Chains A and B, each alone.
Chain A
Amino acid sequence: MASIEVRDASVDFPIFDAKTRSLKKAVLGVVGGRIGPNASKVVVVEALRGITLDLQHGARVGLIGHNGAGKSTLLRLLSGIYEPTGGTASVQGRVAPVFDLGVGMDPEISGYENIIIRGLFLGMTRKQMDERVGDIATFTELGDYLRLPLRTYSTGMRVRLALGVVTSIDPEILLLDEGIGAVDADFLRKARGRLTDLVDRAGLLVFASHSDDLLRDLCDTGIWLEHGQIRMQGPLDEVLVAYNNRGPGPKRRPPAGGGRR
């Protein structure tokens, strides 16, 4: 059974500038004694703080929050790409993360080959992908284009291909990031059905999006992230209402050092 259990997890990114990332600095720092209090300090971005989540099989969770609130980071934490720097995160089940449709796509090889590779990346076997190629070809409507190298495709065609692959897999935990809506409206309408099917097949869904409609289609619970913390968690509609009525201004912190607007 798929489940996600996160306890008080935090994700801190060390930001190495050219100076702190250099070996010379580290070696000289050790050998030559303290250069000064600042030399040993690394700027840290606290991307997530005190995240506690308990998601069981069947959960359909929508992540809501403004840009930089930590939605993508949380998805990466749940997928196991980032192990928490504080607290714990335990994920049971086969994870299929769909963050960037372009990753793992090779422009020089044919659409067919890309379908196979993309599937391997998502944890499928070659045999499983061979069985699905026909279905994906029909769905994407790319026809003979599938035999041409990917570089001859338009952006929309690439998205179709990627969506075709993604929606053909059988994940236990599906993690979707926004941006998959960047297809033409007709195709999206067609893709929605497949996307809903996919979500039904998956044991657990976490979906980050700015589109209330898509969120309502796919999710029933909502998590509102702000400044890397969970601001609110509950039924999707309530969270969406609260988020949309959050009022402007005061909640957003201006970038450090920024002047008045």
Chain B
Amino acid sequence: MPAQVLSTAVARTPATLHRSRSWGLAFDDLARGWRQQELWGHLGWQDIKQRYRRSVLGPLWITISMAVTAIALGVLYAGLFGNRLEEQLPYILIGFIVWAFIGSSITEGAMVFIANERLIKHLPAPISVHVFRLIWRQTLFFGHNLLVYAVMLVVFPQPLSLASLAAVPAFALLMVNGFWAALLVGIVSTRFRDLPPVTVSVVQLMFFMTPIVWIYEDLLNSTNETIASRARLAELNPFLHYLEIIRRPMLGESFELRHWVVVLVITVLGWALTLVVLRNYRARVSYWV
């Protein structure tokens, strides 16, 4: 046991805590993190290569496992719901690809500082570096999964148009939101260690509550009035809107303004909250981790 002085102190707020708690330092953390692209860019790739090291197909396994899941579930649910495969399979596939990004950004976000404890305690770096690395890794996964989407377009052509390019800003929004979510959940989880398992459960639950395997519009247009009215409740689920802004253009469906509005509002609110937390607790992460 180190021979420091042990003392029991009631919560105290010394002068320097206020000095560490500044907007300038919070934004500086984000800016410096962004500038270390070489580092997190390299580490993000490393994470992926690491996972498939010594396997013959390497990162292609990401693509293959996504393809297998989507085909299996597409066939299964097309049968269960009595839908046509050429509708069900593309829907499920895109849902899975997008959810993989959203879900992992949040669940891995809960561990983003805890898992990097050694790095945080040994190398001075802005804490945002770890979040950039996480989002970059998830983006690379997303890129690998897009290959499946490309193949799907050949087998089941979608009515894509110029409007489908809306998927690009939509994915940018997913990244921007994934970033604040991971940063926020990451900081709070570092202090409260119950949060990571809670996060995993909630994300899992949201997977079922969000129209990924079930087709939202089919239920809305159901002849059964009860089902149709219940389906409308799904609008309250923010993940629905995140999914729709990117899935609709990827399926060549029409532009729905309300999904974008909801996402933009949550983006602003989420970042505002995250910046407050970052400002107040950025300097505490290395103490808590």
Contacts and interface: CB of A to CB of B under 8 A. Distances in A.
Interface of A: 9-10, 12-14, 16, 21-24, 26, 40-47, 49, 66-70, 76, 79-88, 95, 97, 99-100, 103-104, 106, 108-109, 116-117, 120-122, 125-126, 227-228, 252-253, 255-256
A41 B9 contact: yes
A76 B119 CA distance: 12
B258 interface: no
B226 interface: no
A12 B14 CA distance: 11
Interface in B265-289: 283, 286-288
Contacts of B82: none
29 contacts: A12-B9, A14-B288, A21-B193, A22-B194, A40-B11, A43-B6, A44-B8, A44-B9, A47-B2, A47-B4, A69-B3, A76-B286, A83-B286, A84-B16, A85-B17, A87-B14, A87-B16, A95-B124, A99-B122, A100-B122, A103-B118, A104-B122, A106-B46, A108-B50, A109-B49, A117-B43, A120-B39, A121-B39, A122-B123
A227 B3 CA distance: 6
Contact of B53 (A69, A85, A108, A125): A108
A40 B8 CA distance: 10
B287 A14 contact: yes
A2 B45 CA distance: 34
Interface size range of chain B in the complex: 35 or more
B200 to A, nearest CB: 15
Nearest to A99: B122
Given A23-B194, A87-B16, A227-B3, A40 B42 contact: no
Given A45-B6, A69-B2, A125-B38, 17 more contacts: A12-B9, A14-B287, A14-B288, A22-B193, A45-B5, A67-B2, A70-B4, A83-B16, A85-B17, A86-B15, A87-B16, A100-B118, A103-B118, A120-B42, A228-B4, A252-B3, A255-B1
